[in-house]
Amino acid sequence: AIESARERARERASERASERESERARETERVRARERASERGEKERAQESARKRECARERERLRARERARERARERARERASARERARERESERERASESARKRARVRERGGERVQWRESTQAGEERKNARKRERARERELVRVRERECARESARERGREREGVRERVRERVRERECARESARESARERVRARECARENVRERVRESERERECARERARERVRERECARESARESERKRESARESARERARERASERDRARE
């Protein structure tokens, strides 16, 4: 019985050692899982930072393109203004030439008697030439007006494109903000889940520790019971030995009595 009790005690000790080994393996696995979760969190935060940096770079590129378009519009306006000033100078020169011709004609009429040597055909040619000159002038004016209208249309188109680009930029910024908010919400959810898991793990760990303590207490009780049982068994053996000794003593006394008889 004592040997069986010792054998059971050894088996229970082996089971407890196996349980402790399994618990250490599970704890190692939990530590690795927490490390992997932390690494995933770090990776996700790095990805979020990269997305934010990419959004910032995209905004900067859009602003640079907008500034370039604005500079191009400014240069176009400057070129249009330069063309307009050139046309104004040309008109001024033409008006000055016309005034000079008028003054020359006035001086010619107010001076000595003019001798008209041109024939009727030459006068008609001059009149036709003046008509053609006026027609060319009107055509140049119309061409300038059409060019101004086209430039204004192009400017309005560029302005509308700039407005659309700014709208798209605001949409992208709002989308980036929403994505960042969603990612922050997911991160908070993951943090809360990790916190809850840690709490559950601590609860389970406390429960396991209490169970181990109870098992150790039961084991101590069983060991004490085994010790008491061993003590009782030893006492019974000693009592049996004493009884045998007394029996032998009685037998020897009986033999002596018979011998005396």
- Mind listing the pLDDT tens digit for each residue in 37-47? 878 878 888 88
In a domain, 38, yes or no: yes
Predicted local confidence at residue 119, as pLDDT: 53
In a domain, 18, yes or no: yes
The mean pLDDT of 105-120, rounded to a whole number, is 55
The mean pLDDT of 145-152, rounded to a whole number, is 83
In a domain, 136, yes or no: no
In a domain, 122, yes or no: no
Predicted local confidence at residue 3, as pLDDT: 76
In a domain, 233, yes or no: yes
Number of domains in the chain: 1
- Most confident stretch, 3-12, 95-104, 165-174: 165-174
In a domain, 117, yes or no: no
In a domain, 237, yes or no: yes
Pull the structure tokens for residue 186: 């997911």
Pull the structure tokens for residue 185: 């919400």
- pLDDT greater than 70 at residue 106: no
Instruction: Report residue 112's pLDDT band, with 50, 70 and 90 as the boundaries.
Output: very low
Residue 62 structural domain: 2-92+143-260
In a domain, 236, yes or no: yes
Predicted local confidence at residue 110, as pLDDT: 53
Predicted local confidence at residue 35, as pLDDT: 84
- pLDDT greater than 70 at residue 261: yes
The mean pLDDT of 55-74, rounded to a whole number, is 85
Q: Which of 103, 131, 139, 145 is nearest to 95 (CA)?
A: 103
